């Protein structure tokens, strides 16, 4: 429907286009005078049809009638402003408001429609009938009428030559002028969120429904589109593609060129003469967005064989250049206790000042009792201090059972030394999973930042790269390599700590670092490796041993191992095969020192929750101390047991009552940990083997090592994890149920793990119901073992019975019969015992 209303871009509403009449004439050719029709006011009033950015009557198209044509002028609006059209609030009614900013009085020089006026010379015979702006495309369609003597093509040539000779350049494009081309197709004026691109998709569609379109060759497309600008590439559809309609891609070198081609050529019909087939072919053009923003990412994804090793190398470089110095700094701070509040001078001053007001005597009893131990082991402490002042490229080992005072003696020997690094192997080994093990080791040495989560991510990347390129990326590291990296960084920090005491004014300042470290053992930091033992599974012990050997041989630090494992020398000898270790073996305290330890505890004042001292009466302090010697003889000289006894005596218990409760508690722990089968866990022994030792040691002071191995319970155990008798004894010794004494370097005697356990064993054996139950389990296992032996003998006798009678088979048959009879006698005897035990269990609770 046509209306008489004009929109904003109707030229009659623009003062800039109401020019003097002499500016425009129709040119009729030759020397015939040109009538002065110009751009008069009455001429502009001839435009009656409403047009918007979406075409006539919002149909999306504009049509040129008889003696009419359409020119497309580009570079009228800046393409950078097309982002404004992406907002949902933008609509056609906002367009006049937006363009009003271009047509304001202050911006009249920048009037884009005035550029159209400047681009059309007065000598060109045309009459403008309509102007349709295309803000997305940065241009406008200008519809014009022309006389019969001039064609639209000629009008295009006249305007084009004029613009070549007299360029019109907008304010936003000072180096590129306006261009114009004749619209030869049927442009589609859509206002969708489709924005210009250098790539145009050309679809070949039939000119009528049901017809057949021809696929144009690249040469034909080039000849049709080259006039609009330089073509970078023409890509035809794959020959085996079944996508309809057929299409081709045109890549223009410049965005303005693709805009001009799309607006001028959309909807053009290619005749048969031009290669469009018998029925002709219509070209349907649309912008195809090229994802140039992701070309780097695409390249990275498409070249994993180059990218993944490059990332691995870059990560290693960054780690070495940035994070390794940071980690070395934090390890040094951890060794030197730089961030420890208790080592701060200000904190120590406040603590000394507050000592006159507040009483810090809660642990004075423990300190005094430890003084008794230090007096007894003064020789060991002095020996340790002497070794730390000497240059010896070997380890210092302090071996002894738990509760023998290893840690206390070492702390006394190291008192006053500034640089000490404590490494607890138990925490590291007990960590679950590789990441937890690495994190625990890092926290022990102060290694940070760690980025533990990156290890899991790099493992996933490794799996993905192995699936894509057939090999690992190298980003992830094994547990072995990461432990090695942490320990190497720690070694670097320890060497810096040792060399930090070096002064340029020293008399030996000319020595190199290695010689200086060898000459000054007193400045080396001390590394205390606690809870070290032999473990065939854990790689941690081997790594720590190798690392400690390197530090020792390079004179970087002193290494002290604390262990309660008698076979500790296996990994250490492997790390330092040509060295003799410096060993200190600590055992239980002597009865005299043990008694002094307990009495010293009792002689100290207790404190109530308010801090007030509570005097213990002499009757509590020394009640029944005549029983103390007897109790200590049973309890032994373990610090933990003696301290437990002293605490019970402080509560008012008599020594015998306290000892009885300690024995009862120890017996309960033994039953739970070694004898009962409710929670086997990772036990390397069977309950029957543990009961055999408990029962035997309750009756005898010691057992012969080899005799125990020859017993049926150890030699033929039915438990899969307990078939190796020697391994079982080592595991029980590590668990401190027993202790193994050596003779000439070989295991010879088996004793209880500590003196207290002998009485605990006796208490367990005195329980009739428990003894009967455990004996029954042992007998059932023995019967099963002998039954298997009988089956073996019978099978062999059956096999021999099927052979021809030979004299040589007689001795073998007699041997089998003798063993069969002996096994049968054992089974019968044990079966009788089983019956008796069942009767006992039926009566006892």
pLDDT tens digit sequence for 476-523: 567 788 888 899 999 999 999 999 888 887 787 888 888 898 888 889
pLDDT of 829 reads: 92
**Residue 54: is its pLDDT beyond 90?**
no
State the number of CA atoms in the 13 A half-sphere of 845 facing the CB.
0
Instruction: Give 2's pLDDT tier (boundaries 50, 70, 90).
Output: very low
State the number of CA atoms in the 13 A half-sphere of 324 facing the CB.
14
State the number of CA atoms in the 13 A half-sphere of 414 facing the CB.
20
CB-based contact 402:640 (threshold 8 Å): yes
**Comparing 64 with 559, which gets the higher pLDDT?**
559
**Residue 345: is its pLDDT beyond 70?**
no
Residue 744: which residues within 8 A CB-CB, separation 6 or more?
A: none
pLDDT of 183 reads: 94
Instruction: Give 604's pLDDT tier (boundaries 50, 70, 90).
Output: low
| Mean pLDDT taken over the chain | 79
pLDDT of 672 reads: 87
**Comparing 400 with 745, which gets the higher pLDDT?**
400
**Comparing 194 with 80, which gets the higher pLDDT?**
194
pLDDT tens digit sequence for 537-560: 678 888 999 999 999 999 999 999
Distance separating alpha carbons of residues 51 and 445, to the nearest angstrom: 79
pLDDT tens digit sequence for 312-328: 778 777 767 778 888 89
**Comparing 759 with 367, which gets the higher pLDDT?**
759
CB-based contact 810:803 (threshold 8 Å): no
Distance separating alpha carbons of residues 735 and 689, to the nearest angstrom: 14
pLDDT of 232 reads: 94
Backbone phi, then psi, for 43, in 5-degree steps? Answer: -65, -45
**Residue 308: is its pLDDT beyond 50?**
yes
CB-based contact 163:172 (threshold 8 Å): no
pLDDT of 647 reads: 84
Question: What value, to the nearest 5°, has the Cα angle with vertex 292 and ends 291 and 298?
Answer: 80
Instruction: Give 33's pLDDT tier (boundaries 50, 70, 90).
Output: very low
List Cα–Cα distances, 84 to 41, 60, 125, 343, 614, in angstroms.
Answer: 34, 21, 37, 64, 85
State the number of CA atoms in the 13 A half-sphere of 309 facing the CB.
5
List Cα–Cα distances, 404 to 382, 594, 629, 660, 754, in angstroms.
Answer: 18, 11, 19, 22, 10
Q: Which of 298-307, 503-512, 564-573, 782-791 has the lowest mean pLDDT?
A: 298-307
**Residue 657: is its pLDDT beyond 60?**
yes
Distance separating alpha carbons of residues 132 and 94, to the nearest angstrom: 15
Distance separating alpha carbons of residues 177 and 256, to the nearest angstrom: 11
Strand-pairing partners, residue 703, are 750
Q: Mean pLDDT over residues 372-401, rounded?
A: 86
Q: Considering only CA atoms, which of 694, 690, 695 is closest in space to residue 725?
A: 690
**Residue 143: is its pLDDT beyond 80?**
yes
pLDDT tens digit sequence for 711-739: 988 988 888 778 888 889 988 988 889 98
Sheet containing strand 703-704, strands side by side: 703-704, 746-752, 738-743
Task: Look at strands 703-704 and 606-607 and give their pairing.
Answer: unpaired
List Cα–Cα distances, 505 to 102, 210, 501, 556, in angstroms.
Answer: 80, 102, 12, 22
Q: What ranges make up the beta strands (E) of 494-533?
A: 526-530
Distance separating alpha carbons of residues 825 and 306, to the nearest angstrom: 77
Q: Considering only CA atoms, which of 529, 634, 532, 647 is closest in space to residue 588?
A: 634
**Residue 119: is its pLDDT beyond 80?**
yes
**Residue 827: is its pLDDT beyond 50?**
yes
- Angular region, 502: left φ>0, alpha ψ -120 to 50, beta rest: beta
CB-based contact 270:283 (threshold 8 Å): yes
pLDDT of 602 reads: 74
Strand-pairing partners, residue 606, are 614
Distance separating alpha carbons of residues 289 and 582, to the nearest angstrom: 77
pLDDT of 472 reads: 52
Highest mean pLDDT among 2-6, 56-60, 741-745: 741-745
Q: Considering only CA atoms, which of 242, 262, 26 is closest in space to residue 145?
A: 26
Q: Which of 168-182, 382-396, 603-617, 704-718 has the lowest mean pLDDT?
A: 603-617
The owner of tokens 């870059």 is: 314
Distance separating alpha carbons of residues 179 and 525, to the nearest angstrom: 81
pLDDT tens digit sequence for 354-365: 654 544 444 454
pLDDT tens digit sequence for 148-183: 989 999 999 999 999 999 998 888 888 889 999 999
Distance separating alpha carbons of residues 77 and 112, to the nearest angstrom: 7
Q: Considering only CA atoms, which of 756, 150, 680, 773 is closest in space to residue 403?
A: 756
Distance separating alpha carbons of residues 438 and 458, to the nearest angstrom: 15
Distance separating alpha carbons of residues 55 and 190, to the nearest angstrom: 8
Instruction: Give 338's pLDDT tier (boundaries 50, 70, 90).
Output: confident
**Comparing 637 with 670, which gets the higher pLDDT?**
670
For 680, other C-beta atoms within 10 Å of its C-beta total 12
Sheet containing strand 180-182, strands side by side: 127-134, 139-145, 68-73, 180-182
**Residue 217: is its pLDDT beyond 90?**
yes
The owner of tokens 């012969």 is: 704
The owner of tokens 């023998």 is: 404
CB-based contact 223:296 (threshold 8 Å): no
pLDDT over 90 percentage in the chain: 28
pLDDT of 274 reads: 87
Distance separating alpha carbons of residues 255 and 199, to the nearest angstrom: 8
Q: Mean pLDDT over residues 656-665, rounded?
A: 89
DSSP character string of 110-179: G-HHHHHHHHS-TTS--EEEEEEEETTTTEEEEEEE--TTS-HHHHHHHHHHHHHHS----TT-TTS---
List Cα–Cα distances, 195 to 7, 268, 286, 609, 816, in angstroms.
Answer: 24, 21, 10, 80, 99
pLDDT of 631 reads: 85
**Residue 257: is its pLDDT beyond 90?**
yes
pLDDT tens digit sequence for 264-299: 999 999 998 888 888 899 999 999 987 655 677 777
Helix (H) or strand (E) holding 182: strand 180-182
Q: Mean pLDDT over residues 246-261, rounded?
A: 94
pLDDT of 718 reads: 83
**Comparing 53 with 305, which gets the higher pLDDT?**
305
């Amino acid at each position: 429907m046509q209306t008489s209303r004009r929109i904003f871009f109707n030229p009659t509403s623009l003062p800039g286009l109401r020019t003097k009449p002499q500016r425009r004439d129709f040119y009729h050719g030759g020397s015939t005078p040109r009538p002065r029709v110009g751009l008069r006011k009455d001429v502009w009033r001839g435009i009656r049809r409403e047009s918007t950015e979406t075409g006539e009557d919002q149909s999306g198209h504009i049509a040129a009638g008889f003696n009419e044509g359409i020119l497309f002028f580009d570079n009228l609006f800046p393409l950078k402003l097309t982002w404004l059209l992406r907002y949902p609030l933008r609509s056609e009614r906002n367009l006049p408001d937006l363009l009003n900013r271009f047509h304001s009085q202050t911006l009249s020089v920048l009037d884009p429609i005035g550029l159209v006026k400047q681009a059309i010379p007065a000598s060109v015979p045309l009459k403008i009938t309509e102007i349709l702006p295309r803000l997305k495309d940065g241009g406008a369609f200008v519809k014009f009428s022309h006389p019969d003597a001039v064609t639209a093509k000629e009008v295009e040539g006249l305007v084009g030559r004029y613009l070549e000779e007299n360029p019109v350049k907008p304010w936003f494009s000072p180096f590129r002028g306006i261009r114009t081309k004749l619209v030869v197709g049927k442009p589609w004026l859509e206002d969708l969120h489709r924005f210009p691109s250098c790539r145009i998709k050309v679809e070949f569609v039939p000119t009528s429904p049901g017809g057949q379109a021809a696929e144009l060759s690249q040469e034909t497309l080039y000849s049709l589109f080259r006039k609009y600008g330089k073509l970078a590439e023409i890509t035809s559809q794959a020959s085996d593609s079944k996508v309809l309609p057929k299409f081709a891609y045109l890549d223009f070198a410049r965005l303005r060129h693709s805009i001009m081609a799309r607006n001028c050529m959309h909807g053009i019909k290619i005749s048969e003469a031009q290669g469009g087939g018998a029925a002709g072919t219509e070209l349907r053009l649309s912008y195809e967005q090229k994802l140039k923003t992701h070309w780097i990412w695409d390249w990275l994804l498409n070249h994993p064989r180059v990218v993944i090793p490059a990332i691995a190398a870059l990560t290693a470089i960054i780690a070495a250049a940035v994070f390794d110095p940071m980690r070395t700094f934090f390890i040094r701070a951890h060794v030197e206790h730089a961030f420890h509040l208790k080592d701060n001078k200000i904190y120590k001053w406040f603590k000394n000042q507050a000592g006159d007001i507040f009483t810090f005597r809660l642990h004075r009893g423990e300190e005094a009792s430890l003084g008794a131990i230090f007096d007894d082991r003064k020789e060991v402490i002095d020996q340790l201090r002497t070794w730390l002042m000497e240059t010896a490229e070997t380890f210092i080992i302090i071996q002894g059972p738990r509760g023998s005072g290893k840690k206390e003696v070492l702390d006394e020997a190291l008192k006053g030394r500034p640089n000490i690094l404590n490494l607890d192997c138990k925490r590291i080994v007990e960590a679950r999973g590789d990441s937890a093990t690495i994190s625990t080791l890092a926290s022990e040495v102060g290694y940070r930042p760690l980025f533990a989560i990156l290890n899991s991510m790099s493992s996933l990347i490794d799996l993905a790269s192995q699936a894509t390129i057939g090999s690992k990326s190298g980003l992830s590291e094994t547990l072995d390599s990461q432990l090695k990296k942490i320990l190497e960084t720690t070694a670097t920090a320890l060497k810096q700590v040792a060399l930090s005491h070096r002064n340029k004014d020293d008399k030996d300042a000319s020595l190199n670092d290695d010689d200086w470290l060898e000459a000054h053992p007193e400045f080396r930091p001390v590394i205390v490796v606690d809870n070290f033992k032999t473990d065939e599974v854990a790689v941690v012990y081997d790594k720590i041993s190798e690392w400690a050997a390197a530090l020792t041989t390079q004179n970087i630090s002193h290494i002290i191992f604390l262990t309660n494992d008698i076979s500790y020398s296996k990994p250490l000898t492997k790390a330092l095969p040509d060295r003799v270790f410096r060993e200190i073996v600590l055992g239980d305290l002597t009865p005299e020192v043990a008694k002094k330890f307990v009495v010293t505890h009792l002689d100290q004042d207790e404190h109530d929750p308010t801090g007030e001292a509570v005097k213990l009466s002499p009757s509590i302090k020394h009640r029944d101390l005549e029983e103390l010697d007897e109790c200590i003889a049973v309890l032994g000289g373990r610090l933990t047991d003696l301290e437990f006894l002293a605490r019970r005596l402080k509560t008012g218990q008599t020594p015998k009552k306290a000892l009885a409760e300690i024995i009862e508690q120890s017996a309960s722990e033994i039953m739970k940990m070694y004898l009962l089968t409710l929670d086997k866990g990772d036990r390397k022994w069977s309950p029957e083997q543990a009961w055999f030792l408990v029962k035997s040691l309750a009756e005898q002071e010691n057992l012969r090592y080899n005799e125990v191995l020859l017993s049926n319970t150890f030699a033929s155990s039915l438990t899969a994890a307990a078939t190796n008798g020697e391994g079982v004894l080592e595991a029980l010794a590590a668990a401190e149920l027993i202790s193994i004494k050596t003779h000439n370097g070989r295991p010879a005697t088996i004793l209880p793990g500590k003196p207290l356990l002998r009485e605990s064993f006796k208490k367990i054996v005195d329980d009739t119901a428990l003894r009967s139950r455990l004996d029954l389990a042992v007998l059932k296992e023995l019967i099963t073992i002998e039954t298997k032996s009988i089956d073996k003998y019978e099978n062999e006798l059956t096999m021999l019975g099927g052979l021809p009678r030979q004299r040589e088979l007689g001795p073998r048959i007699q041997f089998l019969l003798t063993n069969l009879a002996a096994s049968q006698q054992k089974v019968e005897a044990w079966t009788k015992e089983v019956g008796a035990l069942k009767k006992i269990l039926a009566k006892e609770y």
